[in-house]
Structure 1
Amino acid sequence: MGMPVQARAAAGVLAALALVTVLVPAFAQLDQSLVNLREAGLPPSLAHPFGTDEVGRDVLIRSIYGLRVSFLVGLVAALVSMVIGGLVGLAAGTLGGLADRLLMRVVDGFNALPHLLFGIFIVAMFAPGAVAVVVSVGVTHWTTAARIVRAEVLSLRARPFVEAAISGGSGRLRVARRHLLPHLLPHLLLATVLMVPHAIWHETALSFLGLGLPPHLASLGNMINDGQRSLLTGAWWSSLVPGLFILVPTLAVAVLAQHWRDRLNPRRRSELNL
């Protein structure tokens, strides 16, 4: 079965954005501390397709730089979250019994915390920067991966090949490494892909509040924060463009992830189509 039109379009959009974030910085260098008041607040034109911000920086080029930063921070944060959650879920599902119950109570405890407020508390302990955002997302969003992995492990433990391995004398560590992990990797990768846009939104929210990346660096959250002041003067493009750079890749990732989820679980797809 081929890839549907929506998934192909989403893949094309993501590929184009990835290409832009790689090529544009190589040909259009951006001075992060540039101040050119003669070109401040210019509307969209041929020279500046999406206008300039309040200190004269090109909004399009700065948005591309911000998207690259957000993608890198989001990807690293999602990987950290998946590693923590994957290990906890694998341990809970493999060990079972008291260990499973204790680990799940820890997961429930983290889920009860408001993620954004807890993330702000974590970021406040670091200097503003990418490391603080990565730690904040990784520590507050690993519980989803833990639940996914635990559920898959419990399902796999009932499979004949796992029961045969246990009956043959294989230890829990060997069963987890040889029989469980290969089946868990596609689900972990899917969870990581779904976590990337969530991490981007988290980074954007923290930067918007002034707790993420330093204000002078190109970040989509910083740009939206700066652009809200320009809205009073009619410079709508200062906030609209970075907002679109957040929304479009997020929707594209969601479409691709839905297609991936259907491929992983065709039974669920057929049930939804009834």
Structure 2
Amino acid sequence: MAETALAPPPGRTTRRVRVVTSVTIVVAVALAVLIVPPLAQLDEQAVDLSNKLHPPSWAHPFGTDDVGRDLLLRCVYGLRVSLLVGLVAALTATVIGTAIGALAGAFGGWADRIVMRVVDTLSSIPHLLLGIFIVAMFRPGVWPVIISVALTHWISTARIVRSEVLSLRSRPFIDAAVSGGASRGRVIVRHLLPGVLPQAGLAAVLMVPHAMWHESALSFLGLGLPAHQASLGNLVQSARGSLLAGDWWPTLFPGLFLIIPTLALAGLAGAWRDRINPRRKSELML
């Protein structure tokens, strides 16, 4: 009976395993994109037509692509670019969404109504369609994709932050600050923003894989990064012909490099959500 009483609940053990696995994958991915390219000292663009479309082997663990380039090195470089796009776009979108949502919730009235009408209008347009429209105004490159993702993904963060600010405005400490003579700007900066930062951080973590998939979709359609630049979307797009010919590895491994970090970041985001929402965590432990 004593051993049973001391044993952790099954749900807690499962969550702990999920968090440890997610952290391990994220650390492994970070080490791969930071360490492998400098240590490899190989050109991921090096073409060897005599070695094209070789299946996975000891010399090339992921095989080679249709012009003989090492697919493992290409996947690492592609993940590096996709992560860069995802991180910068997610942080930019989070800053924009947090600022707009906090101002709308704090000021209320006509400012809130105007912001929410803009948010509703943009929400009615598919992200990918709006992103294609934005990218089409620039030459293919990293920064047009980042701008496209950031300008189409701040909406959900703005909604979350606005809702949190409206909840915080009704708290007694906000009334006390206003009664003490604090200006609206001081209330926003000193009291409201710190209260919404955990939710904004969670939104940013969840947005990174979303931004990576968005970049991959744009690159797959030929509207994102230049075709010669390694990104996960470009790798999958260039492997379509190989897949139809029965060569599965040029498509499988870039797809795994896209899916596995996404699942790991989702696991970390779930643990973060449980931490900032104790009520949900206690419900899961029952």
Q: Same fold judged by TM-score > 0.5?
A: yes
Give the SS at the match of 1:104.
helix
Q: Aligned-residue CA RMSD in angstroms?
A: 1.4
Indicate yes or no: 2:268 matched with 1:256: yes
Indicate yes or no: 2:238 matched with 1:226: yes
1:216 is aligned to: 228
Matches of 2:84 and 2:114, distance apart in 1 = 34
- Equivalent residue letter for 2:29: L
Give the TM-score, by structure 1 length: 0.97
Indicate yes or no: 2:154 matched with 1:133: no
Instruction: Specify every segment of 5 or more residues in structure 1 that has no aligned partner in the other structure, as ranges.
Output: none
- Equivalent residue letter for 2:201: L
Counterpart mapping for 1:11-22 below 5 A: 11-22=23-34
1:196 is aligned to: 208
Match of 1:101 among 108, 113, 123: 113
- Equivalent residue letter for 2:64: T
Give the SS at the match of 2:34.
helix
Q: Deviations over 1:68-126 (max 9, x none)?
A: 11001100000111111111101101001111111111110110111101100100001
Counterpart mapping for 1:1-274 below 5 A: 4-273=16-285
- Equivalent residue letter for 1:257: A
Matches of 2:127 and 2:54, distance apart in 1 = 38
Identity of aligned residues (%): 60
Instruction: Specify every segment of 5 or more residues in structure 2 that has no aligned partner in the other structure, as ranges.
Output: 1-11
Report the CA distance between 1:268 and its aligned residue.
2.1
Which runs of at least 4 in structure 1 moved beyond 4 Å after TM superposition?
Answer: none
Residue correspondences, number: 274
Check whether the contact 1:129–1:213 (CA below 8 A) recurs between aligned residues: yes
Matches of 1:166 and 1:31, distance apart in 2 = 61
Matches of 1:232 and 1:73, distance apart in 2 = 29
Matches of 1:149 and 1:230, distance apart in 2 = 45
Check whether the contact 2:44–2:70 (CA below 8 A) recurs between aligned residues: no
